[in-house]
Amino acid sequence: MNAQQIEQKPVIKRESKNKIRVDFERTPLKERLKARFLNPYFLGKIIWWIFRMVLMVGISYIVLFPFFTKIAGSFMGPNDFVDVTVRLIPKTPSIDIYRGIIEELGYWAKFRNTFVLSLTCAVLQTLVCALIGYGFAKFKFKGRNLLFLLVMLTMIVPHQTLRLSMVMGFNYFDIFGIVKFFKGGGIELFGYNIKDLGEGVASFFESINILPDEIKMFKYTKELSNGRTREDFKLILKITENGINLCNTYAPMILLSLGGLAFKNGLYIFLLRQFFRGIPDELEESAYMDGSGTFRTFIQIILPLSIPMLITVFMFSFCWQWTDQFYVNMFFITEQPDMLVNLVGIPASLKKDYAGQDLYYSAIRNTCGLMIILPLVVLYAFGQKFLVQGIEQSGLAN
């Protein structure tokens, strides 16, 4: 098969009046396939493809398998847990576990509370972090790098380290002694109170007592156990000389979100900063030319451009707030918060003392977990394409 042979002239035959047949000297099919598929390049590619597929499918399996077992377990009846032959497919399928969780553990009330808190926090965090990230990305001002270092610092110091002072800080919430001052506590500096100066001074400062002892909001009628109703308030803030008691409310988490200090907000600020940096400056410059202010440019030009990234950040903050148990349990000291993270438990009707008890209870807890993350799965199904898209557009390397 050398080149000369291939370049032979085609043989032309006249078959009929209007038809001719041209016969080329062609390499046989077998040879051609051999040349195409039996070379090291192609083989390498095939092997790589198989290796990659196996790896991908394997890791997907690792990720998904815990969910499979949880789902399988959630549909099993109590007897399936003593039966050794039952693996993933239940023999006596039932939805008792789901019914028990929804009816007895108060799923919907917890769902509503968690939803309100997560949505509030996620929206606030997304917007605040976008503002902060934009400020760091597009404006040059003195102390910018130092300030960004502080952002990183808030991320490095684990909130568990600050746990005690967070609880204390929000239990007796006061900004630079303003509450203390208006509650008649005088002014305190470095452990010395101005009231110590004398009797007259003290009585003067004590007369500045203009704050109420309690702030009550969100009136509702509570049904008591004996059938009567009583008027109660959803939000009661007690104010003392030491500050406002913000614990047992959502206020601490909202305040942290407003300051860009909540869980992993440093990461969001970093991601958004990188994203905004990737947006060409000319865009804003032309907007400024047309007489738009910086803030308006941000709202009308920049934010619509960064929707994928905003959705990514929103998704992170929403989901992480949704499954968070640290903050919720930290700030609710005296009462158990009615949140989904406290859903995990065994419904009374499913309590059963038998050989498979441990596995059964474990399955019930797993089902609680599934019920908790179910809304997040829906959110993720819609939002996952933005996750990669948002990050891809950010051009992080620059």
Partner 1 sequence: MSNEVNTVAVDAPKKRRKIASLERRKARAGWLFVLPFLIGFVVIYLPMIYESILFSFSKIHSGVGGYTLEFVGFANYKDALLVDPDYVQTLVKGLQQLAFDIPAIIIFSLFMAVMLNQKMAGRGVFRAIFFIPVILSTGIMETIASMDMNQSAMEEGMDDGSGQSAADQLVSSMDLQRLFSSMKVGTEIVDYVVTMINNIYGIVNRSGVQMLIFLASLQSISPAIYESCKIDGATAWETFWKITFPMITPMILVNGIYTIIDSFTTESNLVMTYISNAYSKAGGRELSSAMSWIYFMIVILIVAVIASILSAFVFYQRKSE
Q: Which positions from 60 through 89 interact with partner 1, judged by CB under 8 A?
A: 60, 62-66, 69-70, 72-73, 84, 87-88
Strands 243-244 and 229-240: antiparallel
Closest approach, Cβ 337 to partner 1, in A, equals 12
Nearest residue (CB) to partner 1, 191 versus 200: 191
Measured from the CB atom, the residue of 42 and 326 that comes closer to partner 1 is: 326
| Cα–Cα distance, 211 to 299 (Å, whole number) | 38
Nearest residue (CB) to partner 1, 119 versus 232: 119
User: Any contact of residue 326 with partner 1 (CB under 8 A)?
Assistant: yes
Using CB under 8 A, which residues numbered 353 to 372 contact partner 1? 358-359, 362-363, 365-366, 368-369, 372
Which DSSP string corresponds to 316-351? HHHHHHHT--HHHHHH--SS---SGGG--S--GGG-
Count of residues for the chain? 398
Contact partners, residue 322, CB within 8 Å, separation at least 6: 114, 118, 340, 372, 373, 375, 376
Residue 203 CB neighbours (<10 A): 11
Contact criterion met (CB below 8 Å) for 224 and 167: no
Q: Are 301 and 283 in contact (CB under 8 A)?
A: yes
DSSP state for residue 173 in the 8-state scheme? B
Binds partner 1 by CB under 8 A, chosen from 30, 140, 228, 230: 140
Q: What is the SS3 assignment for 253?
A: helix
Binding residue for partner 1, selected from 247, 253, 310, 373, defined by CB under 8 A: 373
Q: Which of residues 173-192 bind partner 1 (CB under 8 A)?
A: 175-176
CB of 159 to partner 1, least distance (A): 8
- Of 329, 172, 333, 330, nearest to 237 by C-alpha is 172
CB 306, CB 138: distance < 8 Å: no
Q: Which residues contact 359 (CB under 8 A, 6 or more apart)?
A: 81
Per CB under 8 A, the segment of 24-32, 155-163, 211-219, 222-230 that binds partner 1 is: 155-163
Using CB under 8 A, which of 18, 20, 141, 336 touches partner 1? 141
By beta-carbon proximity to partner 1, the closer residue of 3 and 156 is: 156
CB of 290 vs partner 1, minimal distance in Å: 16
Residue 1, CA distances (Å) to 5, 6, 35, 42, 84 in order? 6, 7, 12, 22, 66
Show the binding pattern over residues 255-294: x = contacts partner 1 (CB under 8 A), - = does not.
Answer: xx-xxxx-----x-xx---x-------------------x
With respect to partner 1, which residue has the nearer C-beta, 1 or 153?
A: 153
Q: Which stretch binds partner 1 (CB under 8 A): 5-13, 204-212, 221-229, 381-389?
A: 381-389
The nearer residue to partner 1, 116 or 377, going by C-beta atoms, is 377
Tokens of 344: 């995990």
**Total residues at interface with partner 1 (CB under 8 A):** 104
Binder of partner 1 out of 79, 254, 323, 347 (CB under 8 A): 323
> Please, what is the minimum distance in Å from the beta carbon of residue 220 to partner 1?
28
> Taking Cα atoms as reference points, which of 309, 280, 2 lies closest to residue 127?
309
Torsion of CA 49, 67, 355, 352, to 10 degrees: -170
Q: How far is the CB of 5 from partner 1 (least distance, A)?
A: 30
Q: Which is nearer to partner 1, 205 or 319 (CB)?
A: 319
Site for partner 1 in 104-133 (CB under 8 A): 128, 131-132
Per CB under 8 A, does 165 bind partner 1?
Answer: yes
CB of 373 to partner 1, least distance (A): 5
**Burial category of 80 from C-beta neighbours within 10 Å (exposed 0-12, middle 13-18, buried 19 and up):** buried
Site for partner 1 in 199-238 (CB under 8 A): none
Q: What is the footprint of partner 1 within residues 4-43 (CB under 8 A)?
A: none
380 forms part of the interface with partner 1 (CB under 8 A): yes
Q: What's the Rg (C-alpha) of the chain?
A: 33
Of the pair 138, 193, the CB lying nearest partner 1 is at: 138
Q: Strand pairing partners for 209?
A: 183
For partner 1, the binding residue among 24, 37, 42, 49 (CB under 8 A) is: 49
